[in-house]
């Protein structure tokens, strides 16, 4: 049993658990997790229940309400470094045997991006800050509205969404003819930028970046916004809503997800040595105190 400080927040991120998609088949097969129902497996059952609550409650009206609440950006003011350090009080129970602070995963991901693309400093910073939206968990947002795979609301749910066949039962959007068709509220090939996404840390951090007038390129913001949109970038859903420019976003999201999912290890980067480099990137692209 883990003994945790009282101010720690338990957070299980299903999107950071072992993925079954063939895109990530370089991972040790013994580490893959399927999404079958096994009520005797506590971790599988918790993941299933997280998605059940998400798929039951994430409606068009719910998403609009959360956007209205969070996009006032009046929750807290802090620097990027302060936000990263705050995430150390967030316990990601998807790695029960590793138990590394979130900031270490952030630096692991950033350093792998830096090794593969040394010329793209914007990608290094993107990897470092991609999970900062999870601070919503400290301010009353339920887990199913913070973590997990995302999907578009306002149209028929994608076929590849995990637990798709059963977990949306009772979601009123499924009975609403304005929202339950292939197009729903959208136009063909409108582009993923124009989708109303289920609410979570991805959408929130994307909005935080735009609100604070980041100098990161738009593709970096889109990596953060869509990195959990697995039904699109891995499942092949929503192609009828894609615009030509979405191919570039998808390319970079898939590159980034290699760093996000498979950099967690017991090799701990020397954060104090690395901070000066990443602070220069913060100062370049996202300086000062941010409004969250």
Strands 90-92 and 9-11: parallel
Q: Is 106 a domain residue? A: yes
Binding site, annotated residues for substrate? 33, 92-94, 134, 148-149, 227-228
Q: Is 245 a domain residue? A: yes
Give the pLDDT confidence of 47-83 residue by residue, as tens digits: 888 899 999 999 999 999 999 999 999 999 999 999 9
Residues 110, 116, 120, 121: what is their CA dihedral angle, to the nearest 10 degrees?
Answer: 30
Q: Is 36 a domain residue? A: no
Binding site, annotated residues for Fe cation? 105, 130-131, 201, 227, 260
Write the CATH number for 173.
1.10.3210
Alpha carbon distance 275, 165 (integer Å): 45
Q: Is 1 a domain residue? A: no
CA 234, distance to chain mean position in Å, is 14
Q: Is 40 a domain residue? A: no
pLDDT of residue 263: 57
Q: Is 160 a domain residue? A: yes
Alpha carbon distance 148, 228 (integer Å): 7
Backbone phi and psi for residue 260, each to the nearest 5 degrees, phi listed first: -65, -45
User: What is the value of pTM for the model shown?
Assistant: 0.87
pLDDT of residue 258: 87
Counting the structural domains of the chain, the total is 1
Judged by average pLDDT, the poorest of 36-45, 54-63, 73-82, 101-110 is 36-45
Helix (H, G, I), strand (E, B) or coil at 264: coil
Categorize the per-residue pLDDT at 102 as very low, low, confident or very high, splitting at 50, 70 and 90.
confident
**Per-residue H/E/C for 138-164:** HHCCCHHHCCCCCCEECCCCCCCCCCH
Give the pLDDT confidence of 265-281 residue by residue, as tens digits: 667 899 999 999 999 99
Contact between 139 and 133 under an 8 Å Cβ cutoff? The reply is no
Sequence-distant (6+) residues with CB within 8 A of 15 are: 147, 148, 149, 228, 230
Q: Is 13 a domain residue? A: no
User: 155: domain range?
Assistant: 60-286
For the chain, counts of helices (H) and of strands (E): 11, 6
Q: Is 10 a domain residue? A: no
Binding site, annotated residues? 33, 92-94, 105, 130-131, 134, 148-149, 201, 227-228, 260
Helix (H) or strand (E) holding 249: helix 246-261
Helix (H, G, I), strand (E, B) or coil at 211: helix
The owner of tokens 């959408």 is: 203
Alpha carbon distance 51, 77 (integer Å): 31
């Amino acid at each position: 049993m883990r003994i945790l400080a009282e101010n720690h927040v338990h957070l299980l991120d299903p999107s950071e658990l072992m993925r079954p998609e063939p895109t990530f088949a370089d991972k040790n097969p013994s580490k893959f997790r399927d999404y079958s129902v096994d009520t005797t497996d506590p971790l599988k059952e918790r993941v299933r229940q997280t998605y059940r609550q998400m798929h039951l409650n994430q409606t068009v009206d719910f998403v609009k309400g959360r956007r209205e609440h969070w996009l006032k950006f009046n929750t807290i003011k802090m620097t990027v470094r302060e936000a990263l350090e705050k995430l150390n009080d967030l316990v990601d129970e998807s790695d029960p045997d590793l138990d590394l602070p979130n900031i270490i995963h952030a630096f692991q991901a950033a350093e792998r991006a830096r090794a593969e693309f040394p010329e793209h400093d914007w990608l290094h910073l993107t990897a470092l800050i991609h999970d900062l939206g999870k601070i919503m968990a400290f301010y009353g947002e339920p887990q199913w509205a913070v973590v997990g795979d995302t999907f578009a609301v306002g149209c028929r749910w994608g076929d590849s969404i995990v637990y798709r066949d059963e977990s949306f039962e009772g979601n009123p959007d499924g009975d609403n003819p304005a929202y339950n068709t292939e197009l729903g509220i959208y136009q063909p090939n409108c582009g993923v930028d124009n989708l109303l996404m289920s609410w979570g840390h991805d959408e929130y951090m994307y909005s935080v970046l735009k609100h604070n007038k980041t100098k990161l390129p738009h593709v970096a913001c889109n990596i953060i916004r869509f990195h959990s949109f697995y039904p699109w970038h891995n499942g092949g859903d929503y192609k009828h809503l894609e615009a030509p420019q979405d191919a570039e976003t998808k390319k970079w999201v898939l590159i980034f997800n290699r760093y996000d999912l498979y950099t967690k290890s017991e090799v701990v980067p020397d954060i104090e040595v690395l901070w000066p480099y990443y602070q220069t990137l913060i100062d370049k692209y996202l300086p000062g105190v941010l409004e969250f």
